[in-house]
Amino acid sequence: VDAPPRREMGDFAVGCFAAAKAQGKNPAVVAAEIVAKFAPTDLLASATAAGPFVNFQLQRGPVFAYCVERAAAGTLLPQPGADQTICIDYSSPNISKHLAFHHIRSTVIGHALAQIFRGLGYRVIGINHLGDWGTTHGMLIAAFKKWGAPEPIDVTALNALYVRFRDEMKTNPDLENEGRAWFKKLEDGDAEARALWQKFRDVSWAEFETVYAMLGIKFDEIRGESAYEPDMPRVMAELRDKGMVTESQGAQVVELDGEKTPMLLVTKDGTTLYATRDIAAAQYRWNTYHFARSLYVVDRGQALHFRQLWKALAKAGYAWSSKCEHVPFGLVRIGGKKTSTRGGNVVLLKDVFNEASDEIAERIQASVQNNDRTSEVTDIAGTAQKVGIGAVMFANLMSQREKDVDFDWEKVMATDGDSGVYLQYAHARCASILRKAGSDGHANADLSKLTQPGEWALARRILDYGDMAVRAGNNCEPHVICHYLLELAGDFSRFYTAGNGDATLRVLCEDGHTRAARLALTEATKTVLAHGMALLGLQAVEAV
Ligand code: ARG
């Protein structure tokens, strides 16, 4: 079931190819036969043949009623996820480093997927698999012991220590051994090493948390790589029992079909690796949650790692490995002048969000002054945050996941065009119309008053909402929702501006019954816009 190429042709198009093949007939003949036998039903008004397709027109009254009722009841989405769990590993940054701008993609895409699956009735476990273990952390301790850092220590200082250590390692190879020695101490539970590591981890988490709070993100599980360290002997014993572990130049590896390089489990110094800990984490997630899907929202640069991970899990005989999926995404390229930097040459996520909020706040203030009106915005700072942060999030979700994103400040912040700001305006416009209508009731509006093409286009779009969200979830593609919402906002704008030249077409028109029906449709549109934005992690505002 599809949409016909042009709206006037009908509301649904059904291709007769499969039916024709089964009956050994020409598809156009089958289409004509279906049309000849068609009789209107409560939901279908007419059928016409167009070559191999049958185009159906819906009965509009029931569709208008369905949209308005569903929106009012808040039952906009089907619930295919009832009784199923989805694990989503996202954000998962490495500690002692800033959350840089490229982390936004995992964080924002992962959060949107979590929201979408929650909306579809799944139990979602959002997991932050912090990178908090490995030789890097030994180096950091060694650097701190050597050079120290001013209190209160922060992520910028930690990062500087690490950079300096790597730099000096080039001319002083002994440093590498010092780093290893400290990591060994950390692994062996040495009290000083542990305390420093814990401190660095706490400092990092406090910084990450301010960003997550800005975005309204809460994880269900914060379990770093370090949590799996105790499982390493068991994991290795299991793999050895299964005869999977071989030695290669002193290291312990798993050979995998179709892979040129084996998967490295333990280095020749006896240190376990990222991959080894990912095996333990995957087992933990299965044993704890019995997931229907286990998603890893990680940049496509790690495609090899995940491919090998799934192969290793399958080789170990875990049937559930087929439920694990790498959800890769492209890079973000930063253009435009506005992405200023602080603390080195990485663009800090916090700064971008703050800058976006500031710009929106300035705009609201300017518009209040220029229009010499009392703004409908009661909380300028709060509104600017929602609109500004939402604009940056939206820009990261709007393209297909695997495409690279060009982060162009002008476009991200544009009031019209494909932006989060545009969606906020559409939502605020709905709210403002409803406010203006005041206590004009539209609860029991007579929807048969809706006879205009623009009204139908809006209802027809709202009708698609559920299927669209299911598709976005199945393919792990939030951009499907972005696209839908932009279309919906466009339909709303046409519906609403139709009244510019003709007063009878205004939402707030003379005729009370028509006005009530249009208000009911406006209310439904507002609800779907806000609901869809929430699926993306955006908070809709009532005025802007
Ligand atoms: N910490 C890793 C990084 O920043 C990402 C971790 C992704 N999740 C995982 N289970 N491997 O590159």
Summarised one tens digit per residue, pLDDT across range 155-199 is: 999 999 999 999 999 999 999 999 999 999 999 999 999 999 999
> Positive or negative CA dihedral for 355, 356, 359, 361?
negative
The residue contributing the CA closest to ligand 1 atom 1 is 131
C-beta of residue 538 within 8 angstroms of C-beta of residue 393: yes
Q: What is the mean pLDDT of the chain?
A: 93
What is the reported pLDDT for 427? Answer: 97
Residues with CB under 6 A from ligand 1: 89, 92-94, 129, 131, 278, 281, 296, 298
The residue contributing the CA closest to ligand 1 atom 6 is 92
Report the alpha-carbon angle 45-46-49, nearest 5.
160
The residue contributing the CA closest to ligand 1 atom 3 is 93
| Cis amide linkage into residue 152, ω under 30° from 0 | yes
How many Å apart are CA 92 and CA 260, to the nearest integer? 28
What is the reported pLDDT for 45? Answer: 96
- Nearest CA-CA partner of 129 in 213, 198, 203, 220: 220
Summarised one tens digit per residue, pLDDT across range 352-401 is: 889 999 999 999 888 877 775 556 888 899 999 999 999 999 999 999 99
- Nearest CA-CA partner of 53 in 109, 13, 111: 13
- Pick from 129, 159, 296 the residue to mutate for probing ligand 1's pocket: most ligand atoms within 8 Å of its CB: 129
Q: For residue 540, what pLDDT band results from cuts at 50, 70 and 90? A: very high
The Å distance, Cα 176 to ligand 1 centre, comes to 23
C-beta of residue 483 within 8 angstroms of C-beta of residue 84: no
- Nearest CA-CA partner of 144 in 198, 92, 75, 89: 198
For residue 323, what is the DSSP state?
G
State the closest ligand 1 atom to the C-alpha of 282, by its place in the atom list counted from 1. Answer: 10
The Å distance, Cα 121 to ligand 1 centre, comes to 27
pLDDT at 76 over 80: yes
pLDDT at 2 over 90: no
The Å distance, Cα 11 to ligand 1 centre, comes to 45
Summarised one tens digit per residue, pLDDT across range 231-267 is: 999 999 999 999 999 999 999 999 999 999 999 999 9
C-beta of residue 256 within 8 angstroms of C-beta of residue 308: yes
Burial class from Cβ neighbours inside 10 Å (0-12, 13-18, 19+) for residue 109 reads: buried
Q: Is 415 helix (H, G, I), strand (E, B) or coil?
A: coil
Summarised one tens digit per residue, pLDDT across range 300-310 is: 999 999 999 99
Rg (CA), the chain: 28
State the closest ligand 1 atom to the C-alpha of 296, by its place in the atom list counted from 1. Answer: 8
C-beta of residue 254 within 8 angstroms of C-beta of residue 272: no
